[in-house]
Amino acid sequence: MTAPFAVQADQNPYLAAGATRVDAVVTVTATGTGAAADALEIVVVDVSGSMAGEKIRAARRATAVAIGELRDGVAFAVIAGDHRARQVYPDFGTARADDRTRAEAVERVRELRADGGTAIGAWMRAARRLADRHPDAVRHAILLTDGQNGEDAPVFERAVRGCVGAFTCDCRGVGTDWRVDELRTIASALLGTVDIVARPDDLAADFRALAGAAMAKNVPDLWLRLWTPQGATVRFVKQVAPAVEDLTGRRVDAGKQRGAYPLGAWGAESRDYHLCVEVSPGTVDMRLRAARIELVSGGSEDVLAQAIVTVEWTDDPQRSSVIEPKVAHYTGQVALAGAIADGLAAREAGDVVRAEERLGEAVRLAAESGHDDTAQLLEGVVDVLDVKTGTVRLRTDADKADAMALDVRGTRTIRVGGRA
């Protein structure tokens, strides 16, 4: 059946008299010991004209590697995308992976040629049609592109919205001519990741890792269901590890005083979420159940695991002033991601003063939190003059790939006591 789960809520349970904000970090852990689930893997490869040369050759190699990672029995398909979506293998529908179908698919992939435009929305709609054939499977897609979408924005946005809940999607951009915001839109909506592969030769290793991770998932659709007391307001629910992702706007009504937030497919892994609830003010010694957190699989009322967030109002400032370490840690991580996003946006807009201010703040926060990988990425975009004060100067010789890498990886976090 499903994999065993555990849910743990870390918080300071004491509030000052009259205080209303409740913060908790919720850790969801899966052991991954459940049986292998039915799965669907879709590889969507950009074959537009800009992919000609080494990029299309690398894409063929990477797709073949991903196909090789599929375990026997997994449903799969390959889509070639240019100004349309064309199914490469099989001719229609999906195939089940075995020695014969994997070999046939690789042969078809070797024939891919680069030509035409870029219509990512059409590619997404084609993937959705395939996903609909496997409603109970762990459904995953890898999407690769090297360019900017040529469709009108509303067409693209409708296509992405139409895929929400149908499959997860990890997006990769090869080279530096694609747009981070376009692929982030897809990855965020479909609970996947986005990253840059600046060198085509690195694609195969990346595809191998993505396909391998997908094969390890055995729970197709997990939800965090949240009950709060009458009069309370959920200010936000954010994934804070392994990366920052705001889930607040994805709330689905789940009954009286309850909402559910999608967590996607799971295998053996652990993720952290920052929950913030505004409750009615209480008096000294009053206790309140501020939230009940339940883990459920899609379409089921069975609770896989749960945790309770309880608060007590006190007049003891030594109790109420304590910030729970996990809450403090992830608040800083979210601030780091926000500083990077703001700084890069200002840099793109030509606002040097604002860019240096916010990216300098990011340098300081990265150093304070031990986020060494992010600090290194920042150094590709700014010259660091003083880490402690966050004084930096924008680099005039910054490589475009370095700025894009900072953009796509700036939301990655480190866990409490860990490293980047």
What is the reported pLDDT for 166?
97
Output the DSSP codes for 108-172: HHTT----S---HHHHHHHHHHHHTT-TTSEEEEEEEESS---S-HHHHHHHHHHHTTT-EEEEE
CB-based contact 402:374 (threshold 8 Å): no
Two tokens, residue 145: 């592109």
Calpha distance 352→372 (Å, rounded)? 24
**Cβ atoms within 10 A of the Cβ of 115, count?**
12
**CATH numeric code, 326-409:** 1.20.120.1690
What is the reported pLDDT for 68?
98
Number of H helices, E strands in the chain: 11, 20
Tell whether the torsion through CA atoms of 253, 254, 256 and 259 is positive or negative: negative
The whole-model pTM stands at: 0.94
Q: Convert 310-347 to b/e letters by CB count within 10 Å (16 or more is b).
A: ebebbeeeeebeeebebbebbbbbbebbbbbbbbbebb
Calpha distance 109→104 (Å, rounded)? 9
Q: Would you give the DSSP letter of residue 4?
A: P
β-strand partners of 262: 223
**CATH numeric code, 5-34+220-317:** 2.60.40.3670
Please state the length of the chain.
Answer: 420
Q: What is the pLDDT along the chain (420 residues), one digit of tens a residue?
A: 445 899 999 999 999 999 999 999 999 999 876 677 899 999 999 999 999 999 999 999 999 999 999 999 999 999 999 999 999 999 999 999 999 999 999 999 999 999 999 999 999 999 999 999 999 999 999 999 999 999 999 999 999 999 999 999 999 999 999 999 999 999 999 999 999 999 999 999 999 999 999 999 999 999 999 999 999 999 999 999 999 999 999 999 999 999 999 999 999 999 999 999 999 999 999 999 999 999 999 878 899 999 999 999 999 999 999 999 999 999 999 999 999 999 999 999 999 999 999 999 999 999 999 999 999 999 999 999 999 999 999 999 999 999 999 999 999 999 876 544
CB-based contact 197:210 (threshold 8 Å): no
CATH topology for 39-215 is: Rossmann fold (3.40.50)
CB-based contact 244:411 (threshold 8 Å): yes
Q: What is the domain partition of the chain in residue ranges?
A: 5-34+220-317, 39-215, 326-409
| SS3 label, residue 202 | helix
